[in-house]
Amino acid sequence: MEYKEFCLQLIELVGGKENIQSVTNCMTRLRFKLNDRSIAKTDEIKELADVIDVVSNDVAYQVIIGTQVQDIRPEMNKILGLSGESKQTDSGEKEKFITMALRILSEAMGPILIPIMAAGLLAGILSLVSLTGLVSAESSTYLILDSIRQAVFFFLPVLIAISFARRLEVNEYLTVTIALTLMSDAINGAKGLDFLGLKLPETTYSNSFFPIILSIIFMKYVGKALEKVMPKALQYFFNPVLILIITLPVTLILFGPLGTYIGDGLNFVFEFIGNTFGSWSVVMLYAALQPFLITIGAGNFIIPIFMNSYATLGYDPVFTAAWIISDIAVCGAVVGYFFRSKDQKQKQLFGTTAFSAFMGVTEPAVYGVFVKYRRPYIAVMIGGGLGGLFAGLMKVVGYAPVGLFGLASFIGKDNYSNFYMMLIAVIIGFVGAGIAAFILGIPNDEEVEAKQAAPVEMDAEAVTKLLIKAPVKGKNVALSNVNDKAFSSSALGKGLGIEPEEDTIHAPVDGEVVSLFPTNHAIGIKTDYGVEILIHIGINTVELDGKYFETFVKQGDKVSVGDAILKADMAGIRGEGYDPVVITVITNTADYLDVLPSHDTSLSSEEDCLTVVV
């Protein structure tokens, strides 16, 4: 009940229950798949007390909250009436296969990390306890507690079966039955097996990651096929057993070997990189660049890779060390800013985000500090890169996917050198990033704005900003001063208003007319780069029912910048008692880094009024 009001507000701001296709969560964020993202009020969501930021990309509409998301998600499910992982509806939009696969993989992997991280942290605690001599590694107490860690990694296919079954809407109990069958003594690692005379390859399913995923995907399609051919009266009795006896042999014959090849292929790739360039290069690059991946919501892509390493190799040679070093480098960068800043409000921001990063949750620092000031990205590239380089050269490996507080797990089986090298790498990352951030300094607000709006080179390969011309000549009006809450709150997107000094409205960009209100008082234009621009003439002028408005284009027309698209009798509108302010907003603001309005007091249709930072 503690988060009920927050959940109700959030559901309303993303467009209501009917706009939500699915909702899942990872460690720090709610991931929505929305039918129509354009109606989500991103700026208002960002203002909610528990929200750190919002990231909208091809994978999901992500509301970043923090670790309390684990408590918020059940309340969200209850309000939405969800019993499983998602609520699916037909949005009429076909999702790209790669996007769908990444989204499902990311959403299904999130819940599995909870027991894995718990097992990793437990391994670190046991290593410390054993190191101090309080409990012998040969004692029953140690063995009982260590059995938790062993069980999590041995029965990983079962955890995967549960999570993917919920995400793909397959019967959980049938998927777990398949997973347990694969891990039974009769099949797991058994030699000399055959099925109907067909020889089966020897496969250790407890140490494989992909066979069970492929098996669950296949099971979903088998279930759908049986529902079409089996009479409804018989489905309850026969479908489960048919699903099992069809899925198991196909898994043993096809998915077991295929999944093993995929896992071995990933290991080969990293072994090849290590032998060719040195594995240190991957550790260094990921430790340096992880904040960028978090910023764009792509941090989860490594999950199947490092989980495959743990399942097949028993350790992770790359990513566990890299992400811990990167996390502590983020902490170091914000600490550097804390000591550099003289402003108490800034110090409070830097102090709280540094503590959060130290605890392993870096999103508050990345979205609250890095995105605004930019220079901390460079600090982490320096500190995290140096720490990652050292860890890579020293061939540090992770024995459990843990954070900073599970550092003792790097001892593994009495591998103290591995632990000491990791400790040094962490110190290098923290100190290096802290010193770099302190030296780079904190840009003031004017410098931040100037940096965002600075002119840049543009070509067909890389577009970093898009310029929007003023649609009409007139006086610049800040959007917050427009007398319409829907616009002034930026709920419809960032932009500005213009007090018009002429009647003709010009196309501010090259693009296509995607919407034209019947009353001709508002028009929507979309550019080839996907920027969606709404030009709205006047406040409440829809009540004029088209009086004083004339259009020169129709929906679907292509327009070029400067073309006359509408005409409005501004004097007549004023005479009727309406404010004729011409409002221009970017309705898909959330898809871009920022939208910056011009600060010129007056504008002409030949001047830029908005800069969309890509």
Question: Residues 7, 26, 331, 609: which is the catalytic one?
Answer: 26
Verify whether residue 7 is a known catalytic residue.
no
Residues 6+ away with beta carbon under 8 Å from 344: none
Q: Write out the DSSP string of 52-118.
A: -EEEE-SS-EEEE--TTHHHHHHHHHHHHT-SSS------S-PPPHHHHHHHHHHHHHHHHHHHHHH
Report the SS3 class of residue 523. Answer: strand
Cα(531)–Cα(591) distance, integer angstroms = 9
Closest C-alpha to 386, from 343, 342, 436, 455: 436
CA distances from 176 to 83, 213, 259, 438, 570 (A): 18, 12, 18, 52, 69
Cα(492)–Cα(53) distance, integer angstroms = 17
Give the DSSP H or E segment for 121: helix 97-132
Q: Write out the DSSP string of 416-431.
A: HHHHHHHHHHHHHHHH
Q: Write out the DSSP string of 143-166.
A: HHHHHHHHHHHHTHHHHHHHHHHH
Cα(178)–Cα(190) distance, integer angstroms = 16
Cα(321)–Cα(392) distance, integer angstroms = 9
CA distances from 112 to 152, 254, 587 (A): 10, 25, 36
CA torsion 57→60→65→69, rounded to 10°?
-160
Rounded to 5°, angle at Cα 38 from 33 and 43: 95
Cα(614)–Cα(496) distance, integer angstroms = 18
Helices 140-154 + 156-168 axis angle, to 10: 40
Residues 6+ away with beta carbon under 8 Å from 93: 35
Cα(431)–Cα(325) distance, integer angstroms = 11
Cα(333)–Cα(409) distance, integer angstroms = 25
Length of the chain: 614
595 neighbors 611 (Cβ within 8 angstroms)? yes
Report the SS3 class of residue 612. Answer: strand
Residues 6+ away with beta carbon under 8 Å from 605: 469, 470, 471, 472, 473, 506, 562
Cα(220)–Cα(218) distance, integer angstroms = 5
Which residues are the active-site residues?
26
